[in-house]
Amino acid sequence: MKANKKKRHTSFIINAVVILIVFFVMFVGGCSSSTTKSKGIINIDFDFSYEGPIFGPFQELETLVCTLSQWNVIFDNYSLPTELNEKYNKLFFVENSLIVYAYTRSSWPVQTAVYRIEKRNKETKICLEHFQGDATAIWNGILIIEVAKEDIKGVTQLKIVSN
């Protein structure tokens, strides 16, 4: 009798572990880190540069910024800190580009973790997760990510995958 109970308990644990593994694989599958050359996916190195609130006029945005003139338009349209305009100068855009993501969330404060940027052909996919606070309020924020210009060469489409 005890042997049957122990066997059922062990079987239950094994089944639970298998189910957890299956759910984990399904959850992570949207932005899989397993890249192979046969799939044509390249992981892109990046630097998380800035995340902050936007006060005043706002428009959601997902864009690649490859030139100083493109940056100037974004800087002029969003209330961003002056030090960003000093950092992103003509010299910066010689070898680098920016990914800019302006978003609205219904919770405050918002912190974002970017855990992978992938390139496949002409599409770049940014996998990120927003960790939202407890207070309910409309939050307009902007996220700026630095990437090497060479890494996004030929990209014409940007896709944000978030929770």
* Res 133: pLDDT: 60
* Res 52: pLDDT: 81
Residue 132 has pLDDT above 80, yes or no: no
* Res 2: pLDDT: 55
Q: Residue 92 contacts by C-beta under 8 Å, 6 or more apart in sequence?
A: none
Single out the residue of 111, 121, 115 nearest to residue 154, CA to CA. Answer: 121
Least confident range from 10-19, 28-37, 47-56, 64-73: namely 28-37
Q: In the chain, at which residue ranges do the beta strands (DSSP E only) sit?
A: 41-43, 46-53, 61-65, 96-105, 108-120, 123-135, 139-148, 157-161
Average pLDDT over residues 123-145: 73
Beta bridge partners of 43: 118
Q: What is the pLDDT of residues 80-130, one digit of tens each?
A: 889 999 999 999 999 999 999 988 876 655 567 777 888 888 777 777 665
* 139-148 vs 41-43, strand pairing mode: unpaired
Integer CA distances (angstroms), 109 to 4, 94, 106, 120, 137, in order: 52, 34, 9, 33, 9
Say how far apart CA 131 and CA 138 lie, in whole Å.
Answer: 15
Single out the residue of 147, 81, 153, 155 nearest to residue 116, CA to CA. Answer: 147
- Amino acid occupying residue 139: W
List the structure tokens of 5: 């109970």
* Res 25: pLDDT: 38
Say how far apart CA 50 and CA 64 lie, in whole Å.
Answer: 15
SS percent in the chain: helix, strand, coil, step 5: 35, 40, 25
Helix (H, G, I), strand (E, B) or coil at 97: strand
Sequence ranges of the domains in the chain: 2-31, 41-161
